[in-house]
Amino acid sequence: MPADAEQIDKPAALRAAHLLREFTDVGINILAELSTHRSVARGIFAFRAGDASDALSFVAKGTLQLVPRDGGAPLGEVAAGDSVGGMSLLVEGEHVLSAVAASDVELLQLTRPVFEEMKKTHPRTALKLTLALAQDLAERLREAKGPLREFLVWQISKRQQEGR
Among candidates 60, 71, 78, 61, which has minimal Cα distance to 97? Answer: 71
Report the C-alpha gap between 146 and 141 in whole angstroms.
Answer: 11
Yes or no: domain 10-162 corresponds to CATH 2.60.120.10: yes
* pLDDT at residue 155, rounded to an integer: 66
Across the chain, mean pLDDT equals: 89
pTM attached to this predicted model: 0.84
Among candidates 47, 65, 155, 67, which has minimal Cα distance to 101? Answer: 65
- What confidence category does residue 3 fall into, taking pLDDT thresholds of 50, 70 and 90? very low
